[in-house]
Amino acid sequence: MSIIDRHIDLFVNYVQVEKGLAAQTLESYSSDLSRYAVFLKENETTSFSEEDTYLILKHLINLRDEGLSPRSRARHLVTLRSFYRFLAKEKIIAKDPAKLIDFPKSGLRLPDTLSADDVAALIEAPDRTTHRGIRDAAMIEVLYASGLRVSELISLRMRDVNLDASFVRVFGKGSKERVIPMGSYARDKIQFYLQYGRPYLLKGKTSEYLFVAREDKPMTRQGFWKLLKRYAVKAGISKDISPHTLRHSFATHLLEGGADLRVVQTMLGHSDIATTQIYTHITRDHLKNMHIKYHPRG
């Protein structure tokens, strides 16, 4: 019996003996965890860990793609939360990774994402015969290519972008620095913007910020949000999207493509679910290779 199967059996025995749950509930728990165990084995995972948040999310995304209703996916999450809480209580894992995932009372709602085709249509929506359109196309591309928060995007400075190595350096929550690779699409759009967009928007002035709105003023969160909404309509996207939708799409597309979960955690800058050890053991070259291999626009 594998470690995964053994821990699942321990949990089922616990809820049966200690909790005295009804037979139907026990059957649901066993069924949900058996399905999760198959998913883990398909992802070459041999044990449970306090860093499993993204595994849980990926499993829920798979269930959604398989056609499970929000109510059924919510039931799976209830099972997983009970199970990981048990593992943490028994000190099998250091902390509970499932408690970071929440859902409304009406059922599980995963973050909205766009398909790769919708993202491509969104990026193509700006009129790149204009200086502002060139800037907007570059901003949308970088947001999706690197999974940035909108606050990180508008705060990018010229010195934070390395076009030769195709990296951007950002300072996320808590002023924590991380370096994220960009694909060739993003690099080329930034280069085009620096040549044909930014100098004309600056009108002879200087700015330390990469993306400028009026002369030397940086783009604001509200300003970019309005732009994105307008381009979504132009691209024929019916979803009510926000800048964070592109961040969710970035992570989802990488995971669906088979990217290592720890790499995605590092790129997103989720320090609350990624340990220091993860950050120190993933090199910049490895991040870049994973981005090129798994990102739709790498």
User: Distance between CA atoms of 68 and 95, rounded to whole angstroms?
Assistant: 28
What are the CA-CA distances from residue 215 to residues 42, 132, 290 (Å)?
Answer: 53, 12, 37
Looking up tokens 């449970």 gives: 48
Residue 16, judged by CB atoms within 10 A of its CB (0-12, 13-18, 19+), counts as middle
Query: One digit per residue, pLDDT tens: the chain, 298 residues?
Result: 789 999 999 998 888 887 676 777 888 889 999 999 999 999 889 999 988 888 888 898 888 888 888 778 888 988 999 999 999 999 999 988 888 776 544 444 555 788 889 999 999 999 999 999 999 999 999 999 998 989 999 999 999 999 999 999 998 766 678 899 988 999 999 999 999 999 999 999 999 999 999 777 888 889 999 999 999 999 999 988 889 889 888 887 876 676 776 777 788 876 544 322 222 233 455 556 766 776 777 6
At 250, which helix (H) or strand (E)? Answer: helix 243-257
User: 145-157 burial string, b = 16+ CB within 10 Å, else e?
Assistant: bbbbbbebbbbbe
Domain boundaries, the chain: 3-100, 116-294
DSSP 179: E
**What's the CATH number of domain 3-100, 3.30.420.280, 1.10.150.130, 2.40.110.10, 3.40.50.720?**
1.10.150.130
The residues annotated with a catalytic role in the active site are 149, 173, 244, 247, 270, 279
Q: Is the pTM of this model over 0.85?
A: no
**What's the CATH number of domain 116-294, 3.20.20.70, 3.40.50.300, 3.40.50.10540, 1.10.443.10?**
1.10.443.10
Looking up tokens 């090199």 gives: 283
